[in-house]
Structure 1
Amino acid sequence: MPAPSPSKHPIFSVLLTLAISAFGGGVAHALGLPAGWLMGGALAVTIAAMLGLPVGMPDRLRDVAFVLIGLSMGASVAPDSLALLASWPISIAALALELVIIVATTGWMLTRLFRLDPGTAYLSSFPGHLSFVLGIAATGVGNARQIVIIQVIRILMLTIAVPIGAVFLPIDHFPPVAAKAFLSPLQLALLALACVATGLVFIRLRVPAGMVLGAMAAATAAKLGGLYTEAMPPPLVVMTFILTGALIGSRFVGITRAEFAAAAKGGLIATGMTLAIVTIMALGVAQLVDMPFGQIWLGLSPGALEGMGALGIALGYDTAFIAAHHVIRLLMLSVAIPAVVVLVRWQEKKAQESRI
C-alpha cells in the first residue's frame, strides 16, 4: 500500500496552517496594526481555507490554544479590576438589551430580505455560543451550513474590525505595561497543569467555553492569590496569537465558494448591523462609566471569548471585565436560544395549520 503524499499527511496540514497564520500575523505586525499577530493570522488562514489549501487544527492543538488563551488572560488581569465591579451593572444591563435588539433585528432582516427560513435566520442571528447553536441546528432546526458561514463571518469580521478601528477611530488603547520579570519554565509548567485541570472540571460541569474559562480561572486565582506576579514571556504570547488566528481561520474549511457566496451577503449585513448596535450601546455606556470605550466595546462585542480576550490582551485592556461580560453573554444565550427555537417551532406549526 503506497504511503500518503506529504501534502496529505495530517502533520503537514497543521504545520501549513501554523506557518500561514505566522506569516499573515508577521506581516500585519510589521505594518503596525494593533493585535497584528492575531488579526493577520486569522485573515491569512481564512483565505487559505477558501482557496482549498489543506489547513486544519486538530482538537488537541485547539485545546492547547484554549489553555494558552485562558492562561494569558488570567496573567494579564488588572490587580484593581475588582474595584470596578460597582460600575459593571450598567454595562451588564446594556448587554442584555443589546442581545434582544441584535437577535430581533438581524433575524427579521435575514427572513425578510434574504428569505431564509426562521430557524436558519434566528439561529444565525445569535451573537455567540456557536457550538450550542450548531448542536440545535443538527437536530433539524435551520440549515446548519448556512448558519456556520454567517456565524464564522461574524467572528472573523469582529477579529479584524476591532484592531482596524483602534487605528482609525478615537478608541483609547493602551500598550501593555512593560514587564520586568517573566514566568520561568517551571512556573509555566505548574500553572499550565492547574489551568488544564480546572478547564477539565469546567468542561465536566458543562460550563460554556469550559477550557478557556477554566484556564483563566486558575491563572487569575493564582495571580490574585499572590502565587505569581510575573508576566507571560513575549514569545509565548505571540504563539498564543498565532494559534488563535489559525483556529479562527480554519473554521472555513469544508465550505465551498458557492455556499460561501450564497450566505456571505446576509452574513456581512447581519454582522454590520450587529457592529452598529454594539457600538451605539458601548458609546452610551461610556458616558456613564469611567472606562475606555474600546474596553467596553470588547466586553459588549458578540465575538468569541477567545478572540475578544486575545484582543483585550493585545490592546492592554482589563481582561477580567471582558471575560466577565462574555461569560454573562453566554449564560444569557443559554436561556435565550432554546426559548427562541421553541417560539420558531410554534410559529412554524401555526403557519402549517393555517394552510390546511
Structure 2
Amino acid sequence: MVSLPSSFHRLLPFAFTVAVSAMGGGIAHVLGLPAGWLMGGALAVTIAAMAGLPVSLPGRWRDVTFVLIGMSMGASVAPDSLSLLASWPISLTALALELVIIVALTGWMLVRVFGLDVGTAYLSSFPGHLSFVMGIAATGVGNARQIVIIQVIRILMLTIAVPIGTLFLPIDHFPPPLPSDFLSPLQVLVLAGACIAGGLVFLWAKVPAGMVLGAMAVATGAKLAGLYEAAMPTPLVTITFILTGALIGSRFVGITRAEFLAAAKGGLIATAMTVGIVTLMALGVAQLVDMPFGQIWLGLSPGALEGMGALGIALGYDTAFIAAHHVIRLLMLSFAIPLVVVLVRRQEKRAQDRRNSA
C-alpha cells in the first residue's frame, strides 16, 4: 500500500477550507448578495469550524492572502485620493470620538450586564488590534478565551453586516467604477514580488498588519506614481475574496460550542452597539463631506483591515481612505490599550485591597 507524504495530509485541510469558502461565496454571489464571495465564504468556513470540521489556513497562505489583499487595495486606490486629504480631518476626529464611546459603553455593558471581570470586558471592547490585545491578555489580564471569542464575533459580524447594510442604507451613493483594462500576468507577478518585499520590510519594522500594509503601500505608491493604471484581473480578485473569507472563518478553530455560547450573547450585543455607534458617526460625517456613506462607514468601522479593505474593493470605494483610517485607528489603540490596562490594574488592586481589609 502506497503511503502519502505528510505534506499531502497537511494540504487536505487547507484545500477543504478553501473549497468551503468558495462554495459559500459562490452561493452568496449567485443569490446576488453584495460582496457575496467574501461574506458567503466567511460564514461558510465559520460554520465548518464550529462544527469541528478540519478547517485550516497555514501561516504561509495567510501571508499570501495578506499580500493579495494589499495588492488589490493598492490597485483600487482612486487617482485623486491625495486631493481628498482636506476632507479627512473631519472623519479622523469622528474616528477618535467613536473609539472612546465604543470602549466606554461596551466595556461598561459587559461588566454590568454580563458580569465579566473588568479586564476581560475592556480588552473585549477594544475595536481592533487583536494581536496586541491578545498579547496583553496572555500576561494575565482578563480571560483570553472569552476575549478572543468576542473579538472574532465582532470581525465576523461586521464582515456580514456591511454587505447586508448595502441593501438598506445609502451605501450606493456613488456607482462603483467598472475597469476596462486589467494587469497582464507578467505585470501581476512583478507587482506581487514588489508587494512581498514591501510586506517583509513592514514586518521587520514591526508595523501592525505589516504584510497587508506593506503590500498596499507598494501597490499604492506605484499607482500614484503612474507606473500602472490597470486594475487587478477579476479572477484574482475573486480568489482574494475566497481566501479572505477562509481567513476570517478559520479564526473560530479551537473554540468549543460551549465557550462560544458562553461569550456569544455579550459579543453580539457589543457588536450591535459598535455598529450603531459607527453608523451614527458615519451619518454625521456624511453631512459634512462629499463622500459615499459606505466609504465613510468602512473607514470608521472597527473591523479587521483585511476584511474591511476587501469589502471596500468589492463595493468600489477609495481604499486609500479606508486603509488610512484603519492605520490611524491602530495607532490610536496602540496608545489607548496600555493606558486602559493600567487603569484596569489599579481598579483590580483597589478591589483586592477592599476585600483584604473587609
Using structure 1 for the length normalisation, give the TM-score.
Answer: 0.97
Q: 3-state DSSP class of the match of 1:9?
A: helix
2:170–2:294 CA contact under 8 A, matched in 1:
no
Query: 1:104 maps to what in 2?
Result: 104
Runs ≥4 in structure 1, deviation > 6 angstroms? none
The aligned residue for residue 328 of structure 1 is 328
Give the residue type in structure 2 aligned to 1:283.
L
- CA 1:279–1:346 in 2, change beyond 3 Å: closer, same or farther? same
Q: Deviations over 1:151-205 (max 9, x none)?
A: 0000000000000010122322555422222111111111111111111111111
CA pair 198-298 structure 1, distance change in 2 beyond 3 A: same
What does the per-residue CA deviation read over 1:43-78, in whole Å, with 9 as the maximum and x for residues that have no partner?
Answer: 000000011100110000000000000000000000
| One-letter identity of the residue aligned with 1:191 | L
Segments of structure 1 that go 5 or more residues without pairing to the other structure are none
Q: 1: CA distance between counterparts of 2:223 and 2:290?
A: 25
* Counterparts in 2 of 1:173 and 1:255: CA distance versus 1, 3 Å: farther
Distance 1:168 1:85 in 2: 29
Q: Given the alignment of the two structures, is residue 40 of structure 1 paired with residue 43 of structure 2, yes or no?
A: no
Structure 1 range deviating more: 267-276 or 171-180: 171-180
Work out whether residues 183 and 233 of structure 1, in 8 Å CA contact, stay in contact via their aligned partners in 2.
yes
Q: Within the alignment, does 1:83 sit opposite 2:86 as a pair?
A: no
**Structure 2 CA distance for partners of 1:274 and 1:69, relative to 1, 3 Å:** same
Are the equivalent residues in 2 in contact too, given 1:173–1:317 (CA < 8 A)? no
Map of 1:220 onto structure 2: 220
Residues 341, 291 of structure 1: CA spacing in aligned structure 2 closer, same or farther, 3 A cutoff?
Answer: same
Distance in 1 (CA, whole Å) between partners of 2:114 and 2:51 is 26
Q: In the aligned structure 1, how far is the partner of 2:236 from the partner of 2:256?
A: 34
Number of residue pairs matched by the alignment: 356
Q: Is the 8 A contact 2:174 2:292 kept in 1?
A: no
Counting only pairs closer than 5 Å after superposition, residues 1-356 of structure 1 correspond to structure 2 as 9-172=9-172, 174-356=174-356
Q: CA deviation at 1:4?
A: 7.8
SS, match of residue 167 in structure 1: coil
What CA RMSD, in Å, does the superposition of the two structures yield over aligned residues?
1.7
Secondary structure of 1:79's counterpart equals coil
Say whether the 8 Å CA contact 2:223–2:229 is kept in structure 1: yes
Moved more, 261-270 or 346-355: 346-355
What CA distance in whole angstroms lies between the structure 2 residues aligned with 1:124 and 1:251?
16
Q: Map Cα deviations across residues 206-227 of structure 1 (whole Å, 9 max, x no partner).
A: 1111110000000001111111
- SS of the counterpart of 2:289? coil
Q: CA 1:142/1:5 → structure 2, altered by over 3 Å: closer, same or farther?
A: farther
Percent identity for Structure 1 against Structure 2: 80
